[in-house]
């Protein structure tokens, strides 16, 4: 007769002391950590589980720091923020099944914005794959589930293949369109003896050089342009010097996507900004006789956030993109150049230096940019000016600040009004996939990537409640981020959207907790700020602390005070 196993026996099995030390071969899990270290990985994000403990075996002896979020979505967003600041992949250790479904939203945001992320997960043992036997954490066809959110999703079926698969992942990050990569390791493979590791990782392939004939044709077209204009996206974020040189050589106005902010610094006379959805900028783009679009999808969330279909390019179009397929989407170019944006922009400048160019039309270049910016500024209403002042206050109080934003009203305004001084200083989740809850964990990742710089999370009260527990992660990891909560007591933008369409607002007024009390409960400093002067003083105090600071701004009070 079978007797039920006492609960105490189950608990003892889960907490049993380790077996006495015996000499043993290094495992695949330990080799993985060793290889990550050789590729320059400095930090991993994850929550250990019974399926992933073998991934952790080698961490204690490595130089890699581990940060524990409170939810795997937080791990993914932290990795995203880390990657946006460093340009290197953020790395996550994730358990089979629920851990992977939890991180899916963060992977989708990174996929939409072309952010490098390496997600290493466990999966059930090889003999159990596809069995549907109800195993712990079993997710049917886990690899296939995530294939659509990644550059590739791979199941490691033999430990000997580990070096090759990791090399493939880092080749994507280094020389292709960067996107998440998922590598899942079956439980029986993680504990296999380590494969022989090379003395050093293989040399990664160089970024693809553009075709010389296409460059020559593009240079000739630009040399004869009277009204050239440049549209630059996140795919050019590593090419700031080359973009600036070309723009100045051509006297070409430059419009940037949100992920490209800072490619021309704030105050540059050729910088239009990120206002491609506004009439004055759209008119200028349509007036251009030659448009060079580099590293940009020309997608809706950067060029048509009003969803009115009003963005158009009437001039002759040149496109540069590392993703050849992207050159065939959204707008068909007369000249399509597949290759690295830095190499292409540098080569175009060199070719233009060697040939005579037509001077720009009178009133084009800097004069046209000044007129566009003046027209846009004149169109801002009181609330927009008040929210722009919020961002101006942050930037003035915290030189060199990185702002990681969420989908919230002042971030939408800042996307139009704020010009960053350098790339990788302003990013948010309001474009592309457009998720909520991104800002806080992304700011934690950004601060880990740039500990000497102030990092601010700008997030709404609704978005913060998606990932609020990550305040505990920041306290635990000693990451002194500054969190500014824009509190309009609900989903304010959605409420306006419903009212504008004559829909009775429903579901947009969730209960608003006491954020300052919650922040203090997590171990953060917490303050309210009602005026720009009060905010500036609070920010200066916050940046001197070794713990996170939460600053709450009441929308109605700020509008009243900031417009005086």
Task: Give the tens place of pLDDT for each residue, 408-437.
Answer: 999 999 999 999 999 999 999 998 899 999
CATH number of the domain that residue 349 is part of: 3.40.50.1220
Confidence at residue 17, expressed as pLDDT on a 0 to 100 scale: 54
Domain end, chosen from 157, 190, 223, is at: 190
Nearest to 455 by CA among 521, 408, 405, 503: 405
Residues 546 and 442 in one domain: yes
Is residue 520 domain-resident? yes
**496 within 8 A of 508, measured Cβ to Cβ:** no
- The torsion angle over the Cα atoms of residues 405, 408, 409 and 413, rounded to 10 degrees, is 30
Same domain, residue pair 368 and 485? no
Residue 154 in domain: yes
CA distance 418 to 275: 10
State the first-to-last Cα distance of the chain, in angstroms, to the nearest integer: 82
Specify the DSSP class assigned to residue 523. Answer: T
Domain count, the chain: 3
Q: What is the chain's alpha carbon radius of gyration, rounded to the nearest angstrom?
A: 25
Using CA atoms in the order 218, 220, 223, 229, what is the torsion angle rounded to 10 degrees? -20
475 and 524: one domain? yes
DSSP 530: -
In a domain, 19, yes or no: no
Output the pTM of the full model: 0.93
From the list 239, 464, 478, 455, the residue with the least C-alpha distance to 339 is 239
Instruction: Please give the Cα distance from 490 to 28 (Å, whole number).
Output: 48
385 and 499 inside one domain: yes
All residues at 6 or more sequence positions from 389 whose CB lies less than 8 Å from its CB, including other chains: 532, 562
pLDDT at 1: 42
Residues 406 and 486 in one domain: yes
Q: What's the order of all strands across the beta sheet hosting 43-46?
A: 65-67, 43-46, 90-94, 117-123, 180-186, 152-155
Helices (H), 149-186: 162-175
Q: Is the same domain home to 395 and 367?
A: no
The phi and psi torsions of 344 (rounded to 5 degrees) equal -70, -45
Residue 12 lies in a domain: no
Residue 280: which residues within 8 A CB-CB, separation 6 or more? Answer: 371, 372, 375, 376, 379
In a domain, residue 315? The reply is yes
Which among 250, 247, 276 is positioned nearest to 263, based on CA atoms? 247
Question: 316-321 and 290-294: which strand pairing?
Answer: parallel
- Domain identity same for 356 and 429: no
**C-alpha–C-alpha distance, residues 22 and 519, integer Å:** 46
| Structural domain boundaries, residue 266 | 212-375
**What pLDDT does residue 13 have?**
47
User: What pLDDT does residue 16 have?
Assistant: 54
Which mean pLDDT values do the consecutive 10-residue runs of the chain (564 residues) have? Answer: 47 51 76 96 97 93 97 99 98 96 98 98 86 80 93 97 96 97 97 87 92 98 98 98 98 98 98 97 98 96 90 97 95 96 98 92 98 95 94 98 97 96 96 94 99 98 97 98 97 92 95 97 98 98 98 96 81
Cα 355 from Cα 507, distance rounded (Å): 62
Q: What DSSP designation does 47 have?
A: -
pLDDT of residue 21: 45
- The helix/strand count (H/E) of the chain reads as 23, 18
pLDDT for 96: 92
List the one residue out of 113, 38, 41 whose CA is nearest residue 81: 113
H/E segment holding residue 369? helix 366-378
What integer pLDDT is reported at residue 110 of this predicted model? Answer: 98
Q: Are 186 and 221 in the same domain?
A: no
Whole-number Cα distances in Å, 459 to 230, 428, 474, 483, 551: 31, 10, 16, 7, 11
Q: Do 532 and 513 belong to one domain? A: yes
Q: 502 and 460 in one domain?
A: yes
**Which residues make beta-bridge pairs with 183?**
120, 154
> For residue 480, which of 402, 549, 404, 422 has the smallest C-alpha distance?
549
Output the CA torsion sign for 141, 146, 151, 154.
negative
∠ CA(433), CA(438), CA(439), 5° rounding?
Answer: 130
Alpha-carbon distance of 117 to 433, in angstroms, equals 16
Q: How far is residue 442 from each of residues 266, 333, 437, 477, measured CA to CA in Å?
A: 23, 35, 9, 14
* Joined tokens for residue 83: 């990657």
Given 330, 356, 375, the domain boundary residue is 375
Same domain flag for 223 and 280: yes
Query: Does residue 199 sit within a domain?
Result: no
Last residue of a domain, one of 358, 375, 392: 375
In the prediction, which pLDDT does 22 show?
Answer: 46
Is residue 510 within 8 A of residue 462, CB to CB? The reply is yes
Query: Encoding tokens for residue 452?
Result: 């000497």
Q: What is the pLDDT of residues 107-120, one digit of tens each?
A: 999 999 999 999 99
Question: 295 phi and psi, to 5 degrees?
Answer: 65, 30
DSSP 458: E
For residue 539, what is the domain's CATH number?
3.40.50.970
Instruction: Indicate whether 340 and 462 sit together in one domain.
Output: no
pLDDT of res. 138: 81
């Amino acid at each position: 007769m079978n007797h039920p196993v006492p609960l105490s026996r189950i608990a003892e099995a889960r907490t049993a002391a380790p077996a006495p030390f015996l000499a043993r071969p290094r495992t695949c899990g330990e080799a993985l950590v060793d290889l990550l270290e050789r590729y320059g990985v400095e930090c991993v994000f994850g929550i250990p589980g019974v399926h992933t403990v073998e991934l952790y075996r080698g961490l204690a002896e490595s130089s890699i720091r581990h940060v524990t979020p409170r939810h795997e979505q937080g791990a993914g967003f932290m990795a995203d923020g880390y990657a946006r600041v460093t340009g290197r992949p953020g790395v996550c250790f994730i358990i089979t099944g629920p851990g992977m479904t939890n991180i899916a939203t963060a992977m989708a945001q990174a996929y939409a914005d072309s952010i490098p992320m390496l997600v290493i997960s466990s999966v059930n043992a090889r003999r159990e794959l596809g069995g549907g036997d109800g195993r712990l954490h079993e997710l049917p066809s886990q690899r296939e589930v995530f294939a659509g959110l990644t550059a590739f999703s791979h199941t490691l079926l033999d430990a000997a293949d580990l070096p090759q698969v990791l090399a493939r992942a880092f080749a994507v990050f280094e020389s292709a369109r960067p996107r998440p990569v998922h590598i899942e390791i079956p439980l029986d493979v993680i504990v296999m003896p380590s494969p022989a590791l090379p003395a050093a990782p293989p040399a990664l392939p160089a970024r693809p050089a553009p075709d010389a004939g296409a460059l020559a044709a593009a240079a000739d077209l630009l040399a004869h342009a009277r009204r050239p204009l440049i549209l630059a996206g996140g795919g050019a974020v590593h090419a700031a010097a080359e973009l600036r040189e070309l723009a100045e050589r051509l006297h070409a106005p430059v419009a940037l996507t949100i992920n490209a902010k800072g490619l021309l610094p704030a105050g540059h006379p050729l910088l239009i900004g990120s206002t491609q959805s506004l009439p004055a900028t759209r008119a200028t783009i349509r007036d251009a006789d030659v448009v060079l679009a580099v590293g940009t999808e020309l997608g809706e969330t950067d060029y048509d956030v009003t969803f009115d279909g009003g963005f158009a390019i009437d001039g002759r179009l040149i496109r540069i993109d590392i993703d050849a397929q992207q050159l065939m989407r959204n707008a068909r170019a007369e000249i399509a150049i597949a290759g690295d944006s830095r190499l292409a922009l540098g080569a175009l400048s060199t070719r233009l230096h060697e040939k005579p160019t037509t001077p720009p039309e009178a009133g084009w270049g800097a004069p046209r940019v000044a007129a566009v910016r003046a027209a846009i500024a004149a169109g801002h209403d009181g609330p927009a000016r008040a929210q722009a002042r919020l961002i101006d206050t942050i930037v003035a109080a915290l030189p060199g600040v990185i702002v990681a934003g969420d989908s919230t009203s002042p971030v939408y305004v800042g996307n139009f009004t704020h010009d960053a001084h350098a790339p990788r200083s302003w990013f948010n989740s309001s474009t592309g996939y457009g998720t909520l809850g991104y800002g806080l964990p992304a700011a934690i990742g950004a601060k880990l990537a740039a500990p000497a710089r102030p990092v601010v999370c700008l997030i709404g009260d609704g978005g913060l409640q998606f990932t609020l527990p990550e305040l505990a992660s920041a306290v635990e990891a000693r990451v002194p981020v500054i969190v500014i909560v824009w509190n309009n007591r609900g989903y304010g933008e959605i409420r306006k959207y419903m009212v504008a369409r004559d829909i009775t607002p429903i579901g947009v007024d969730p209960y608003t907790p006491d954020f300052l009390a919650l922040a203090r409960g997590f171990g953060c400093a917490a303050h309210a700020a009602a005026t720009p002067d009060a905010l500036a003083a609070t920010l200066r105090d916050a940046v001197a602390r070794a713990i996170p600071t939460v600053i709450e701004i009441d929308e109605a009070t700020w509008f009243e005070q900031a417009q005086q």
